[in-house]
Amino acid sequence: MRTVDIPGHVPEVSDKLPTAAVKQAILDAGIEYLVVLPETPYELLLRDLIKTQDIKLVQVARESQGMSICSGLTVGGKRAALLCSFKGLYNSIDSLLGVARRTEASFLILVSEAGVSPDRAKLDPELGRHSAKLLKALDIPFYEVWDGKDLHLVKVAVAETKGNTQPVAVILRW
């Protein structure tokens, strides 16, 4: 993956979830492959991870592909995670059910989603409302990270993938 510096572009980094802390949580969890699409709040994270030798990035053109690639990596014996936006989760449901579940691949899904706040709800009433309900409806186990103190849940979720037959999700609220 390559990045281009865009003059004047200021990434919308969450002050609740510092980039360095998210990166450390991913590394501490022992993730070998991170399958990604660019996601605005994690622009700095991805720029940082590109330089990291401890983790391999796989860039996909659509999140549903990432769900399948993580399934293949897992079946092949690697520890994989998908980092996607909440909309990425929406477009991945078919792969989640038709690939990950059918191959019993258990890996980490990191879903980036806006927190529920009146300001954001004014901008887009769909923000922050559906991921948890969706995962619950699909019987996919998940944790919610609201701030840096919750980031240990990434490691907890990865531990839960061991011996499991389906992915485990962590919703990163920004």
Partner 1 sequence: MSMTRTDCLKVLAKHRTGELVITAWQSSNAWHEISPSKYNCSSVRTMGECATFALGVALARPDQRVVALEGDGALCMNLGSLLTIATAAPPNFYEFIMHNKVYETTGGQSLPNVDHLDFLLVARGVGLTQVHRYSDLATWDRELPNLLREKGPVFTVVDIEPDETHVCGHNFATKVRGKDIFYARQFREALANTPPKGG
Instruction: Name the site residues for partner 1 (rule: CB under 8 A).
Output: 33, 56, 58-62, 64-65, 67-78, 80, 94-95, 97-99, 102-104
Residues 34 and 13: beta-carbon distance below 8 Å: no
Report the residue number, 64 or 131, with the smaller CB distance to partner 1: 64
**Minimum CB distance to partner 1, residue 2 (Å):** 10
Report the residue number, 75 or 127, with the smaller CB distance to partner 1: 75
Report the residue number, 16 or 56, with the smaller CB distance to partner 1: 56
**Minimum CB distance to partner 1, residue 57 (Å):** 10
Phi-psi bin for 138: left (phi > 0), alpha (psi -120 to 50), beta?
Answer: alpha
Residues 155 and 28: beta-carbon distance below 8 Å: yes
**Minimum CB distance to partner 1, residue 4 (Å):** 16
- Residue 163 identity: G
d(CA 18, CA 131): 21
**Minimum CB distance to partner 1, residue 136 (Å):** 21
Cα dihedral angle (142, 57, 18, 5), rounded to 10 degrees? Answer: -140
Report the residue number, 14 or 71, with the smaller CB distance to partner 1: 71
